[in-house]
Chain A
Amino acid sequence: MSAPLVPRYSPRDRANHWVIAISFILLAVSGLALFHPAFFFLSNLLGGGTWTRILHPFIGVVLMLSFAAFALRLAPDNRITAADREWKKHLPKILRNEPVTLPKIGKYNIGQKYLFWSLVVLIPLLFITGIVIWQPWFAPYFSVGLIRLAVLLHAAAAFLAILAIIIHIYSAIWTKGSIRAMTRGTVTAAWAKHHHPAWYEEVSRSR
C-alpha cells in the first residue's frame, strides 16, 4: 500500500529549480576557486583557471535569468505571516526533534522564506557586481574604485549566498521526504500535513 501523494512542484518548476541549482553549484565552485588558493584546485572542474574565468560570468547570466523567472512564481507564497513568526519561536525545539504544537504553516515556513528573500537580494547583487568586474567585456567601462567595491561586495554576497544554500541543502536532507518534492514533484500527504498543514488544507480543498 503506497501513501497518498500531494503534488507540490510542476515539471516546469522542477526544471527551473534544477537549472538554478546546477548553475549555482558551478558558480560557487568556480567562484571559490578564484577566492582562496585553498580552493584553486576546483578551477579544474570547468577546465582550468582561464576557462573558469571565461565561463563563470556566462553561467551567472543563466542563474540570474532562471532565478528571476522562479522568484516571480514563488514570491506570492513567500509573504511572511503571523503564523510564521509564531512558528519561529519554536525553532530550537524543532531543531532538537522535540514534540511541539505548531501554528499552521502554509506552503513555506519562515526558514524557507528567509532563504527566498536572501537570494532575491543576493543574486541580483552578485549579477550587478559581476557585470562590473567582468573582464574583458564590461570591466574596462568602470572606474577602478568602483571595481574594487564590486569585487568586495561580490565576495561578501557570494559568501552569504553559499551559506544560505548550505542551510537550504541541509534542511532538505534533514527533513525526510522533502527532496522528492523537487525530484518527483510530489510529497506524501503525511509530510504535507505535518510540515505545511495550511498548504495541505488549501490543496485538499481545491482538489
Chain B
Amino acid sequence: MALQSLDIKARSATTTPSPSVRGATTEVAKLIDISKCIGCKACQVACMEWNDLRDEIGHNVGVYDNPVDLTAQSWTVMRFSEVEVTPGRLEWLIRKDGCMHCADPGCLRACPSPGAIVQYANGIVDFHEENCIGCGYCITGCPFNIPRLSKKDGKAYKCTLCSDRVAVGLEPACVKTCPTGAIVFGAKEDMIHHAEERIADLKSRGFQNAGLYDPPGVGGTHVMYVLQHADRPELYHGLPKDPGISPLVSLWKGITKPLASLGLGLAVLAGFFHYVTAGPNEVEEDKEHTS
C-alpha cells in the first residue's frame, strides 16, 4: 500500500469508507496548454526517468509520434495532428496524451479487485499494481483508452500524475521539465483561472473558439487542456468531444451488481424455505414395495 499520506476518496471494489480523516484537501490539476507545446517530448523523457520506465525501441512509422501508442512502459505520448481548420492554413496540433484523472473514473468503477485502483482526495487516480489481477476491466471502463496491460507482468499501468511526487509537495516530472511552460500544475481552481487567462490571450490572437477541456461527462478531469479549437476537440488526435462512462459499463457495474447478487441470494433462500415448509417430494414407501 503506497502513499498512505494521502486521503482516499474512492477505492475499487470496496463498499466501506476509505481512509479519509485528514479533512480539507485541495484538488490538484495539471493544465496542458496545447498552444504552447513545441512537441519536444521532454515530458516523455522526464516521465521515463522519474518512473524508471524504458520502453522497447520501436520503428518509425512515418509520423512524429514516438512511440506510436501508449504502452505499459510509456505513460505519456505526444500525439501530432496536422490539420487545416482554415483552408490553406496548416496547423500542427500536438497533444500530450495520457491519463486524464477523471473525477468519475471509469477504470475504478469497472475494476473488480479491491484497492487496485484508488482515487485520492486530491483527485489523482492511481493504480496499485500489487492488487491488480490483470483482467483488463479498467481498459473496458476507460473513456479515453489509457490503461495498458504489461506483457511482462500482466498488470495494468498508466500515468500516476506522479502521485509519489505530489504527495511530498512536488510537481509531476513532466511539469518540472517542460521547457516552454506548456504544462503547469497546481490547485485545480488556480489552473482553471490560469487557463482563462490563456484563453483570453488566444482569443485576442484570433483563436475565437479557444477554450478549456475539462469534460463534465466524467465529472471534470484533473488533467485539463487549453485547446485553440475547443469546439472541435476531435482535431487533437481524436480527443473525445463529450466523454463519459459507457452506458454498458454503467449498467454492468451499476445496478446489475446488487440486483443480480440479491436475485441469486433470494433464489437460494426460496429453495430452503420451500423445503422446510412444503417438505420434500418423496415417493411413498409402500409404492417401492408393491413395484
Contacts and interface: CB of A to CB of B under 8 A. Distances in A.
B246 to A, nearest CB: 5
Interface string B253-291: 000111011011001100100110011111110011101
Interface string A57-97: 00000000000000000000000000000000000001111
B278 A96 contact: yes
Contact of A50 (B114, B136, B154, B274): B154
A122 interface: no
Given A50-B133, A144-B140, A173-B275, A167 B267 contact: yes
B90 interface: no
A43 B268 CA distance: 21
A18 interface: no
Contacts of B133: 34, 43, 48-50, 52-53
B246 A148 contact: yes
A3 B251 contact: no
Interface stretch (A7-15, A19-27, A152-160): A152-160
B13 interface: yes
A45 to B, nearest CB: 14
Contacts of B249: 148, 151-152
Contacts of A175: 280-281
Nearest to B131: A49
Interface residues of B, number: 47
Q: Is the interface of A mostly helix, strand, loop or mixed?
A: helix
B136 A37 contact: no
B208 interface: no
Interface residues of A, number: 54
Nearest to A136: B149
A135 interface: yes
A147 B263 CA distance: 25
A16 interface: no
A20 to B, nearest CB: 19
A147 B140 CA distance: 7
Interface string B16-45: 000000000000000000000000000000
A162 B264 contact: yes
A176 B264 contact: no
B256 A37 contact: no
A166 B136 contact: no
Contact of A170 (B151, B258, B271): B271
Given A97-B281, A136-B136, A174 B275 contact: yes
Interface in A127-166: 133, 135-136, 139, 144-145, 147-149, 151-152, 155-156, 159, 162-163, 166
Contacts of B274: 95, 170, 174
A52 B137 CA distance: 14
A35 B278 CA distance: 33
Given A37-B13, A37-B14, A163-B263, A152 B154 contact: no
B134 A50 contact: yes
B248 interface: yes
B140 A36 contact: no
A135 to B, nearest CB: 4
Interface of A: 1, 3-4, 32-40, 43, 48-50, 52-54, 94-97, 133, 135-136, 139, 144-145, 147-149, 151-152, 155-156, 159, 162-163, 166-167, 170, 173-177, 188-191, 193-195
22 contacts: A1-B289, A33-B112, A35-B112, A35-B257, A37-B15, A38-B15, A38-B261, A50-B133, A53-B135, A97-B279, A136-B136, A139-B136, A147-B139, A148-B246, A149-B248, A151-B137, A163-B267, A166-B264, A166-B267, A175-B280, A194-B283, A195-B283
